[in-house]
């Protein structure tokens, strides 16, 4: 019974129950799309899904997939269009919201990224991607105090996370808290000896001396 329910859920996700569909054609279209994505041939990856999109234009999976591919291809308005359609179907989809956030980041829309990151965190409090981009977008707007709070929150549950240690050290340094920043960058170099942000920090210190 459980297997039947799981299969039914998958079929609903792909829009297979409500409409007639050649499952093999759908599978082949997605397979080709993934292959072209691996080769970074995003135009072909998108074209591979044309028939699926025409027949299942209102389904979540195809719209999310096309949103992702258009983002990778740098077609940001198209990406937002398809992601918007996916979010109409499932407004709580963290994966779609995170991808939409990547579009804002790519366009350096820091305020929009801040707002969207906060929305995602309301759904998934410790979501790594959302918290990272929240901190980053705050940093880019010189809102260092709040960015530092986000970094500290995440380091409670990910104490050795290089990305949040780096963000915390950078935000502290930009907020004129150089002593604590020095300590965190020092620890970061132990965990990540090739970390470019930490290396640049100490190189700048040497130049000042």
Distance CA 28, CA 143 (A): 47
Distance CA 195, CA 11 (A): 44
Per-residue pLDDT of the chain (209 residues; tens, 9 = 90+): 555 444 445 555 555 444 566 899 999 999 999 999 999 999 999 999 999 999 999 999 999 999 999 999 999 999 999 999 999 999 999 999 999 999 999 999 999 999 999 999 999 999 999 999 999 999 999 999 999 999 999 999 999 999 999 999 999 999 999 999 999 999 999 999 999 999 999 999 988 76
Return the pLDDT at 206: 87
Instruction: For each of the domains in the chain, give its residue range(s) and CATH number, in order of start.
Output: 1-91 (1.25.40.10), 142-209 (1.25.40.10)
Is there a contact between 96 and 120 (Cβ–Cβ < 8 Å)?
Answer: no
User: How far is the CA of 123 from the CAs of 64, 157, 179, in angstroms?
Assistant: 18, 18, 35
Return the pLDDT at 4: 47
Nearest to 48 by CA among 25, 71, 64: 25
Tens of pLDDT along 24-66? 999 999 999 999 999 999 999 999 999 999 999 999 999 999 9
Return the pLDDT at 203: 95
Nearest to 13 by CA among 82, 63, 59, 68: 59
Distance CA 168, CA 191 (A): 15
Is there a contact between 167 and 138 (Cβ–Cβ < 8 Å)?
Answer: no
Tokens in use for 71?
């983002």
User: How far is the CA of 125 from the CAs of 6, 96, 130, in angstroms?
Assistant: 27, 16, 9
Residues making up the chain, counted from first to last: 209
Return the pLDDT at 125: 99
């Amino acid at each position: 019974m459980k297997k039947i329910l799981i299969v039914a859920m998958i079929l609903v996700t792909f829009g297979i129950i409500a409409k007639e569909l050649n499952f093999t054609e759908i599978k082949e279209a997605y397979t080709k799309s993934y292959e072209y994505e691996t080769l970074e041939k995003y135009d072909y990856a998108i074209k591979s899904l044309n028939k699926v999109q025409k027949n299942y234009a209102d389904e979540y999976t195809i719209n999310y997939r096309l949103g992702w591919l258009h983002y990778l291809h740098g077609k940001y308005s198209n990406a937002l269009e398809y992601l918007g359609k996916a979010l109409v179907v499932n407004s709580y989809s963290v994966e779609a919201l995170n991808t939409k956030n990547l579009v804002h980041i790519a366009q350096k829309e820091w305020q929009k990224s801040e707002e969207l990151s906060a929305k995602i965190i309301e759904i998934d409090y410790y979501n790594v991607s959302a918290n990272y981009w929240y901190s980053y977008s705050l940093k880019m707007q010189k809102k260092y105090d709040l960015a530092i709070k986000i970094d500290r929150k995440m380091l409670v549950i990910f104490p050795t996370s290089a990305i949040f240690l780096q963000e915390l050290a950078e935000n502290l340094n930009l907020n004129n808290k150089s002593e604590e920043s020095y300590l965190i960058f020092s620890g970061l170099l132990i965990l990540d000896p090739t970390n470019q942000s930490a290396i640049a920090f100490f190189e700048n210190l040497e130049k000042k001396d």
